[in-house]
């Protein structure tokens, strides 16, 4: 089985105010075997119960929102972790206090 090295960097985070659960947008660089792919508009969303990183979407001709890109879990998971860390650093998210052994992120 071949292996590939992937580097993920969050280029910037733009905080959004007054956008409901959407707290910010991030631009993420994925470097795959020396090929640079930049994802614009990665969404940082949070409710009182959970924090979520969503890939960019577009509105299809039928009016429905569709994913603009599909990433394998091996890339999507680490990318989400990097975006959440950048959201904490940008001040739009904060580390939740550990409760009964579980840590998390909150708005």
- Tens-place pLDDT, residues 30-65: 999 889 999 999 999 998 889 999 999 999 999 999
Residue 27: closest CA among 13, 7, 17: 13
Band (pLDDT 50/70/90 cuts) for residue 102 is: very low
Residue 21 lies in a domain: yes
85 CB-near residues (< 8 Å, 6+ apart): 10
Structural domains counted in the chain: 1
What residue numbers bound the domain in which 75 lies? 6-95
Residue 101 lies in a domain: no
Residue 35 lies in a domain: yes
Residue 76 lies in a domain: yes
Compute the average pLDDT of residues 9-31: 94
Residue 105 lies in a domain: no
Compute the average pLDDT of residues 14-33: 92
Q: Identify any residues that bridge with 10 across adjacent strands, giving them in sequence order.
A: 28
Residue 83 lies in a domain: yes
pLDDT score at 12: 97
């Amino acid at each position: 089985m071949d292996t590939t090295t992937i580097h993920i960097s969050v280029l910037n985070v733009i905080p959004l105010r007054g956008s409901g659960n959407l707290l910010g947008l991030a631009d993420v660089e994925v470097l795959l075997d020396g090929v640079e792919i930049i994802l614009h508009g990665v969404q940082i969303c949070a409710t009182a119960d959970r924090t979520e990183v969503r890939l960019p979407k577009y509105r299809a001709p039928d009016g429905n929102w569709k994913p603009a890109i599909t990433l394998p879990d091996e890339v999507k998971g680490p990318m989400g972790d990097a975006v959440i860390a950048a959201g904490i650093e940008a001040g739009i998210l904060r580390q939740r206090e550990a409760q009964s052994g579980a840590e998390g992120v909150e708005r």
